[in-house]
Amino acid sequence: MSESLAQYQEDLRRFSDELIRIQTPIKILDAIKWPREMEERFLSSKGTVLPAIKQDFYQNIALPFDPAKTQAELLSLKNDIHRRLGKKDKLGKLLVANVDQYRLVVDMLGHRGTPTFGKLSQELYGSASHRLHGDRHTLRQLGDRLSYIFSLPAARHMNKHHPKIISAPEAVNVLSQRLEKYFHSDDMRVRLSDGIVSDAAVGGDTVKLNSKAMFSESDLNVYEVHEGWVHVGTTLNGRAQPHATWLSVGSPRVAATQEGLAVLLEMLTLSSNPGRARRISDRVAAVDMAENGADFIEVFNYFRELNLSAKDSYRVTQRVFRGGMVEGGSFFTKDISYVRGYVENINFIRSAITSGLPELIPMLFLGKLAIEDIPVLYQACQEGILTPPKYLPPMFDNFSGLYAWFGFASGLAGIDLKGVQRHFTRLFKDVPSIDPSLELLDDTEFDNNSD
């Protein structure tokens, strides 16, 4: 190894570790989460009284870092990267992109409960009015289409096949055993938590399950691949990098790729269910309504009118207004990441196959990255600066089956689906419809609410 390459790798590691150190106390969701009793109060009012969340509520949630000092450290790190690696260095540019993201995050958290919070959220995560790459449809249009599909009578009927009968301690044991087999060379934990509002969450190498929740077998299947294989897996893959350790932490610019990949794994492993798929799709509509000025009650009532339970209507709404303003005018747009990222990951895989570059596909698991980073990261792997992913799901490790799957999907993409649907609608016209009594929703159906 040349002396210059060794020095470059040393600098890359030093800057990566410094970024990790600076960003460690920056916990976006912790800084904007609402107390659990807020849900009880709102539902007890029958959804007629806005949650008591004002700007002073957020001011009373102390940030575990000094914003001014953190901004100064991030700016100093950016200048050091430019000085040592140069402004044109490709890996240096990715590092700086993440540094700039954290600078925006610090600014956003300093404006919780104000209109500026929503504007900065859109800058970091995007907007439901944005269009997908190369497509004319907005994310809201796609979300509405998916929500319709996953709320059809057949979908609602299938949701009854997933009863929540597994206690939290039992769920921890089951999930621990599954993930210990997958992460054979690293320590990771599944533990109970009283401090999360959702049913499941991930922090670094730890999957946290809500101690007060009950779970279905489908929930555990989802958590195994979504929280485990993807979120914990990419963390550990990033930590295994000898120089680019920043790949173990994720700024908002990687949210769509991460969440979309996690949802894709749910689909490829047949772990998901229509209820969960609908929740993910509904989040886009909630973001779009908030972006267009709706207040908390208006968004909540929108989902109630679509036959979503009161509890789940509250939860999908709360996710979008955390950090913003319940009376309207500010919002948190991260929830578009799931649908946007799902489509982008699929299109990336299909394009890698049709472009003759299927070896790019496993790079999705290299660490916390944005899809646009992959060509640069792949080249760095080829040059020996980065190492390949340590943990890969079976279908990404030996991706011949994945190639066949998406190869067929690409080949069929040009078929007129409306014409096909008309053909089969005629074929199905005499088939008895589902018993209408099975279409009714109760308040227990869509309770799984993992981030």
pLDDT at 193 exceeding the cut of 60: yes
Q: What is the pTM of this model?
A: 0.91
Residue 153, SS3 per DSSP:
helix
**And the tokens for 384?**
């020996």
- Where does the pLDDT of residue 362 fall: very low under 50, low under 70, confident under 90, or very high at 90 and above? very high
Q: 235: closest CA among 244, 225, 247, 226?
A: 247
- To the nearest 10°, report the CA torsion of 303, 308, 310, 311: -110
Q: Which residue(s) pair with 193 in the sheet?
A: 210
DSSP readout, 38-100?
HHHHHHHTTT-S--S--HHHHHTS--SS-HHHHHHHHHHHHHHHHHHH-TT-HHHHHHHHHHH
CA pair distance 264, 272, nearest whole angstrom: 10
Mean of the per-residue pLDDT values of the chain: 91
Does the structure show a pLDDT above 90 at 295?
A: yes
> Which tens digits make up the pLDDT trace of 302-361?
999 998 999 999 999 999 999 999 999 999 999 999 999 999 999 999 999 989 999 999
For 49, other C-beta atoms within 10 Å of its C-beta total: 12
Nearest to 298 by CA among 267, 320, 274: 320
* 275-291 pLDDT per residue, tens: 899 999 999 999 999 99
Q: How far apart are CA 179 and CA 228, in angstroms?
A: 7
Three-state DSSP at 162 gives: coil
Neighbours of 384 (CB within 10 A): 11
Nearest CA to 91 out of 81, 101, 79, 83 is that of 81
What confidence score (pLDDT) does residue 425 get?
A: 84
Residues 109, 110, 113, 119: what is their CA dihedral angle, to the nearest 10 degrees? -70
Tokens standing for residue 297: 């009650």
The whole-number pLDDT of residue 444 equals 36
First and final CA of the chain: distance in angstroms?
Answer: 43
- The sign one gets for the Cα dihedral 108, 114, 116, 120 is positive
214 phi, psi to nearest 5 deg: -115, 150
Please, which residues bridge with residue 206 across strands? 189, 203
- One-letter amino acid at 132 equals L
Angle, CA of 330, 335 and 339, to the nearest 5°: 140
Confidence of residue 154 (pLDDT cuts 50, 70, 90): confident
Residues 6+ away with beta carbon under 8 Å from 256: 125, 126, 336, 337, 340, 341, 344, 370
- Beta bridge mates, 202: 207
**Which candidate, 108, 219, 103, 104, places its Cα nearest to that of 170?**
219
pLDDT 10s digits, 79-111? 999 999 999 999 999 999 999 999 999 999 999
Mean pLDDT along residues 417-424: 82
Neighbours of 104 (CB within 10 A): 16
Res 451: pLDDT = 66
Task: Find tokens 């079976």 and name the residue.
Answer: 394
User: What span, in angstroms and rounded, lies between the C-alpha atoms of 329 and 119?
Assistant: 10
